[in-house]
Chain A
């Protein structure tokens, strides 16, 4: 067991290093393949189009040492990464790591809210649907689930903005101000996407529970459906749903890139799109590396959780580790 686990961790660590290398190399080439003049571009990003002039561009060139030879630049780039130094943002001049720290808090807040909201939505629907498989609620929720799964989160987001913001005037579409409840729409969008699947997981789990001996025993004891559900159903059906949340974390990471941009939620995904738009290469590198590493981390956690939870998985993992 320990051997398998350490093997897994080693493998994931290697993966993390590779991800960082890959992203940073792509970023470096990105920087040196930019069409046009880098100093001009950065000046445009910094000072806005009203103030981009040859003079401003020259000032940027000197400040950032952009006239360095390629090889020297590459070595410097690597050195910085080795020292866990992601550099300063071209646009704001603040250290990238500080900006990311700030944004990451927002992303985490959004992701967790979405996760919680998805459970709140999915669990009751799944349980009730599972109580009466092939009943009308089951069918409706299945159809909804298929449609929701087909709809990518950003499409769902647009639809929600159109429906809620304009018609009901509930909440404004893109707003980072927490006082205004700006968190709700992006979280709901992600949560619905998540719930589309987890409600089915919950439903299947509930069907299993219903077939099980203890549930039937509870029924024969004379407990009503509802009571039997409350006593035995929820807990047992919740286990696979909770386990499934780990898998969903991975999906969430991808979802935030677009959802944050759509709702202008000041998280790491929004920052990445912003950086791409403004050609802020240190920010692109920083956010992409952090997201990549998070992905590795999520995958590792899911692996470990599965291994601990399920002996079959443990066996499979050990085989995978040997392969």
Chain B
């Protein structure tokens, strides 16, 4: 374990540490500051103090509680969409690679078309279905993200199916399920892992971006993008307020980018 850890490049290690810290904060802090809803209109825009570590927002709500609730929300929605996208993508990839023919042609064309559209555009389209609702963002994200898993799994499986070990396993009469478990999934796992990391970062970002522009989740939901737009007007009176969601989102992105290794495109 420690040897494996030592082997990792410094960037990845620091990314992992940073991410773990953020996640721990997201998981633990709500028990320290559970109330993200209660307002106190007499105590608005307070500066950080012992009692209110991140201050209070424009409605006198506890910023620490709101921030950590927002983190939980972002991560759970991102994880949910990425896992759904991976399951759907890999299943369809398997189907396409295994069956080939018309199914493959149709699936590949659809995937190509979705791939062409920017993730944000797809999510935006879907978010119009039910504005401000959790589920429309979830479906939009999953719909935008499944194609990558589809393409990768289809290509990998196609290549693996004709590889020597699989050929011989087939000749020995092993069933499809065995092949899948023993040969195909292990081939896929590392690639899918990396893809999921990027997927999570894309999802968190899209969520925040839409919230910020006003077409994502809605106030009073504690969400990073929503908080940014809510607190933006107070940048001069209470700069620490807008800073906390901005810095948090930046740190998440940085952690995921470091962990995921070099990305080719910005």
Contacts and interface: CB of A to CB of B under 8 A. Distances in A.
Direct contact of A and B (CB under 8 A): yes
Interface of A: 14-15, 18-19, 21-23, 26-27, 30, 33, 35, 146-147, 149-152, 154-155, 158-159, 162, 166, 193-194, 196-197, 247-248, 250-251, 253-254, 257-258, 261-262, 272-273, 276-277, 279, 284, 288, 291-292, 295-296, 299
B129 A30 contact: yes
A104 to B, nearest CB: 15
B211 to A, nearest CB: 10
Given A155-B250, A254-B121, A261 B213 contact: yes
B266 A276 contact: no
Given A277-B215, A284-B128, A197 B254 contact: no
A261 B120 CA distance: 13
Contacts, number: 127
17 contacts: A30-B125, A146-B254, A151-B250, A152-B205, A152-B253, A154-B208, A158-B232, A251-B266, A253-B118, A254-B120, A277-B214, A279-B131, A288-B117, A288-B125, A291-B117, A295-B116, A295-B118
Contacts of B129: 30, 33
Nearest to B109: A18
A150 B11 CA distance: 13
Contacts of A18: 109-110, 112-113
B121 A292 contact: yes
Given A158-B232, A166-B235, A277-B215, A193 B113 contact: no
Interface string B203-228: 00100110011110000000000001
B128 A159 contact: no
B246 interface: yes
Contacts of B205: 152
A153 to B, nearest CB: 9
B161 interface: no
Given A30-B125, A152-B209, 18 more contacts: A15-B109, A18-B109, A18-B112, A18-B113, A19-B117, A23-B125, A33-B129, A35-B130, A150-B258, A159-B246, A162-B235, A254-B121, A273-B213, A273-B214, A284-B125, A292-B116, A292-B117, A295-B117
3 closest A-B pairs by CB: A18-B113, A150-B254, A254-B118
Interface in B223-250: 228, 232, 235-236, 239, 242, 246, 249-250
A150 B242 contact: no
A150 B253 contact: yes
Given A152-B209, A257-B120, A279 B109 contact: no
A155 B246 contact: yes
B141 interface: no
B254 A147 contact: yes
A296 B116 CA distance: 6
A272 B11 CA distance: 38
Contacts of A146: 11, 254, 257-258
B210 to A, nearest CB: 9
Contacts of B99: none
B131 A276 contact: yes
Given A14-B109, A19-B116, A247-B265, A272 B246 contact: no
Contact of B212 (A22, A162, A258, A291): A258
B266 A149 contact: yes
A276 B128 contact: yes
Contact of B213 (A15, A262, A284): A262
A276 B215 contact: yes
B127 interface: yes
A23 B239 CA distance: 41
Contacts of B95: none
Interface string B126-147: 1111110000000000000000
A145 to B, nearest CB: 9
B97 to A, nearest CB: 13
B88 interface: no
Interface string B148-159: 000000000000
A257 B121 contact: yes
B117 A150 contact: no
Given A166-B235, A257-B118, A276 B127 contact: yes
Given A150-B254, A151-B253, A295-B116, A257 B242 contact: no
Residue of A21, A150, A193, A197 ringed by the most chain B CB atoms within 10 A = A150
Contacts of A272: 121, 124
A138 B112 CA distance: 38
